[in-house]
Amino acid sequence: MSIFGFGKKKDTVVQPTQSATESRYKILGTGCSNCEALERNVKQVLQELEIEEGVQKVSELSQIASYGVMSAPAFVVDDKVVSVGKVLSHSEIKKIVQDS
């Protein structure tokens, strides 16, 4: 017998973890002009290829460092760093996305 709800099991709602909602495509950077340019290029290529996946921006330094990245911007596909320190062209991004 439970008095005032003590001893009664609570119904818990499981929230999706952050990893469950993460995108396959990530831009690592602190918001510099090169980071924004890379993000813009990636979004354009995904739209051209009719891929409805979004692009996740990672700007927290500890998260960026966890990928082993020391210069920005960086492009990550499926948690694998594929480019560091430069703004990729549309053709470079297209090849990376199609090969992944």
Model pLDDT, residue 49: 93
Model pLDDT, residue 18: 44
* 21 neighbors 12 (Cβ within 8 angstroms): no
CATH classification at residue 45: 3.40.30.10
Asked whether residue 68 is assigned to any structural domain, the reply reads yes
Model pLDDT, residue 100: 85
- What range defines the domain where residue 89 resides? 23-99
* 25 neighbors 76 (Cβ within 8 angstroms): yes
| Tens digits of pLDDT across the chain (100 residues) | 556 656 655 554 433 334 445 789 999 999 899 999 999 999 999 999 999 889 999 999 999 999 999 899 999 999 999 999 999 999 999 999 999 8
Asked whether residue 13 is assigned to any structural domain, the reply reads no
Which among 97, 91, 57, 60 is positioned nearest to 77, based on CA atoms? 97
Kind plus residue range of the DSSP H or E element containing 50: none
Domains in the chain, number: 1
Instruction: Write down the pTM of the prediction.
Output: 0.75
Model pLDDT, residue 5: 59
Catalytic residues: 32, 35
Which among 92, 76, 75 is positioned nearest to 38, based on CA atoms? 75
